[in-house]
Every structure is written in structure tokens, then in C-alpha cells.
Amino acid sequence: MIKPSTQLIDFVCEAQLPWISYSDERGRLVLVIDNHLLSTYRACPQYFMNYAVEGWRKRSEFGPGVEKNWFLDFGILFHKMMEEYYRSFREESFTLESFAIDSAFKHWDEMGMDQHLSHKEAQEMGGYPGFAGMLIQYAVQFKAENERLRVISTEIAFGKKHEVPIYEWGGPESDSPLFCHADIYLAGRIDILADDGIYILPMDHKTMGMFRGDPTIRFHTDDGPTGYVYAMNKILPRIISTELILKRQCSKILMNLISKRVPKEGSRFKRLPLFKSEAMLEAYRQRQIGTVNNLLSDLDSYVRSLGVQRDSSKCYNWYYKDCNYLDVCRQQDASAEQATLQSGYIKLPIWNTEAINDSTE
């Protein structure tokens, strides 16, 4: 899309979505995107409109509020515990009891994780006692004397201050006139920034049901890890000294993989590196621009009531379950769709590309 329509600009100004705005000063749209936002759009544009534009969330069948997601909630919980661990594991006051029992139970209880005890994975893990056991195992395997990484920083956020540009339109004289009439910035949070003696590298925690074959296969083409390396190359000068940057490359990310299920043999924790060349980072940048071009075209169509495509292959297989909006999309007409949304869904704040603790999906 070369230039957004007047209808799209008016909609963006009125809707005040957290990930897109219109700048009168720049005279163009400004997007702050993250991997979750764009991967949701790529999976199904219609789902994206319901989720990231309208803010509809499915009501829970088991009580007030929205339907909870075990995978998302557990990922958030584990990230919280890893942040705490790497902030304090080298301090003299650190104890396994305070970390894996006291603090873990506090966060488990605050997030209401017991509501997930009917989920197969939660049962296999053993609920809170199994979670505490997992943390103890992690802290023993990666205790201070065994952890070779030197932690530089934890939970590095970037986004709304436009620290990581993906594309900035240069106006009519731009050397890239076919790109969208918008500025694009990347947002996210890096779990751990570490020094392994050779590289300055981000470490990303990923929880998995269990390890099958090579657990890194799914991450080789995942834009999430690539985006973290791309971001670090933009913001490193703000975090560490130039002298240290010159001595350490930042072309690798360490995937810290955790199996919820205890394997029959071997550790339930794996550390596997992914290397990213300059060519891969530039290809990543181009993919994000292409996705945003398509997203803006679909959003323009959506606000003019022209409709957007849906990926029907996801209706019964949205991350191993029925799509949350299946009941809406199978209605006979627009009025029935609206009636279904009003009765079975709740409008909540739109996904914020800088808010790591959004658990409303």
C-alpha cells in the first residue's frame, strides 16, 4: 500500500490503538509492532481484526471474565521467575526456598494458575508443587558456580521511544518509494542480555510441553529470536560501553528451552544457540515491512467495510484448539456475528506491544 486512505487515517485517529497512530508532524502513520502482533496477523487477518483492532476476548465458560490460556499464562509466569532468578542468584541472600517456594507460590497464586489444573499439561507437570520442583531443578543445574554467562541486564524493553527502527519513510524523494507510507518500529522485551566471553547475546526462555527430536527446529525460521538479535544491534550502545561492543559480536541468541514434562532421560533444560548473519537480519527487516504493507492494506479494507480474508485452516487448529472466534465466523450474516460477539465476548484493552504481562488472550 503506497498511501493510506482518508478513511484509514480518520479511523486510526479515532480508535487510538496502542500499536498504530497518525503523526500530524510527520504526515504519516507510525506503527510500533512486535512479533506477537505480526504473527497473529499472518496467521489470520480476520482473527487479527477481532483481536488487535476491536479488542474482543471470549468469555470464560467457568466464571466471570475472559477465557484464560494456559500456554500464555505459564509462559508469563516462568518469565517472571527467570527475571527474579537472574537478578538475585549471585547474591549472598539468595536461597532456593525464597526463590522456588515462597516467590513462586506468590506469583502462582496472584496469577490464579490453579484455574488451569484441568489442563493436561498442568496435570502432567503436577500443578504448583511440580512447578516449584522445576524451579529447584533449574536453580541447581544453573547455580552461580555453574552459570558461565555473565548477566549484563534483565528485561530490556524497547518500543514506544522508537529505539529500534524497521523502516522510516523518506518522503516522495525516498529511494524506496514502493514501501508503505508509514514509519515502523519494533517493540519487545529481551529476557536476559549476557556476555559469554565471545558474544554479547540475548537469551530467550521458551517453555515447551516436552522435547521431541531437535527442539530448535521451530526456531530456525521464527522471526521472534531474529528480531531480538536485530534489536540488540540497534540498542547496544545505550546499554554497554562502545569498547565492550567492539570486543564482542552480537550475532547470536541463546534459546533457553524448558520442558514442562520431566523427560525419561537427560535434562529438562536445553541451551541451544542460533546464529544470525547480517543478510538474515536484513531479510528479517524486509519481511516485517512486507507484512506491515499487507496489514495496512487489509486494515484499510476493514475500516471501509470491504472485508478481509480469513484462513479457514486455522478455524479448528488455532494452536491445537478451536479458534476463539469460530462461533463468530460461522454465523450467517453480519447482524448474527454482532449478536454473537455481544453475548459471548468482552471488549478489553487492545494488545499493547510493550506490555509483556498482557494475559487477556
Q: At what angle do helices 278-303 and 6-15 cross, to 10 degrees?
A: 90
The H or E element that residue 359 is part of is none
| Alpha-carbon span 8 to 11, nearest angstrom | 5
C-alpha cell at 60: 470464560
Strands 150-158 and 188-195: antiparallel
In the chain (361 residues long), the average pLDDT of successive 10-residue segments reads 83 94 90 94 96 92 71 91 92 93 95 91 92 95 90 87 88 56 91 86 89 82 93 82 63 91 87 93 94 94 92 88 92 94 91 56 37
| Alpha-carbon span 21 to 50, nearest angstrom | 18
Do the beta carbons of residue 289 and residue 184 sit within 8 Å?
A: yes
Neighbours of 319 (CB within 10 A): 10
| Alpha-carbon span 56 to 356, nearest angstrom | 19
pTM comes to 0.87
- At residue 357, the pLDDT reads 42
Distances in whole angstroms, Cα of residue 63 to Cα of each of 60, 66, 179, 270: 6, 8, 46, 38
Do the beta carbons of residue 20 and residue 12 sit within 8 Å?
A: yes
Domain ranges in the chain?
Answer: 6-65+288-347
- At residue 95, the pLDDT reads 94
Hey, what amino acid is at 145?
E
C-alpha cell at 318: 488455532
What single DSSP character describes residue 298?
H
Q: At what angle do helices 223-235 and 35-43 cross, to 10 degrees?
A: 150
Q: Which stretches of 236-317 are DSSP H helices?
A: 242-247, 278-303
